[in-house]
Chain A
């Protein structure tokens, strides 16, 4: 349906960046675009199973958002998968560093993926980095 695939790379653990990444991934996915998300660095721990901790804001916008009824970024990523067939890949390096196994991650995530495979799959798409 779409001309190009959207690849979203999320490395930040800040509220604003996780939120923007989740919005791009979910809206693109429900609009019929193919979406791949790669979670690494400080973003990955938020997707450990049962982790409901809030991400810290990095600026004024994030601070204001905390007091509003904003869709939670994890909910949006899950909706990107369930309503739009997005694929969310946890970075295998980050999992090794953190000592997290696949079973320790939320069930809507795909299997651990290395950078080599992600880069290969992303080569014909747009890459958005947060």
Chain B
């Protein structure tokens, strides 16, 4: 189990957090788990949709006090 990488997209708006995730995925290995932090609700909805479309694994979303944590695994 590799350590989780944090992608801090807090404060940014759509599609900022998604773009930051994609940049982080590029420099990750297959199997790596990444957690995106976002204060943008639109991104919290959009990122799982993007994962479904391109085929990386969507693990979970949690939210507290207007901050979303979206966990994903690089699969290819």
| Residues of A participating in the B interface, judged by any CB pair closer than 8 Å | 23, 26-27, 30-32, 68-71, 76, 79, 83
Report A-chain residues with C-beta under 8 Å of the C-beta of B14: 23
In chain B, what residue has the closest Cβ to A71? B16
| Residues of B participating in the A interface, judged by any CB pair closer than 8 Å | 11-16, 18-19, 22-23, 26, 50, 53-54
Summarize B's interface: helix, strand, loop or mixed: helix
Contact of B22 among A23, A30, A70 (CB under 8 A): A30
Given contacts A31-B50, A83-B23, contact A23 B15 (CB under 8 A): yes
* Smallest beta-carbon distance A68→chain B, Å: 6
Q: A30 vs B16: C-alpha distance in the bound complex, in angstroms? A: 12
Q: A30 vs B25: C-alpha distance in the bound complex, in angstroms? A: 12
Q: A26 vs B15: C-alpha distance in the bound complex, in angstroms? A: 8
Given contacts A79-B19, A83-B19, contact A30 B13 (CB under 8 A): no
Q: A70 vs B12: C-alpha distance in the bound complex, in angstroms? A: 6
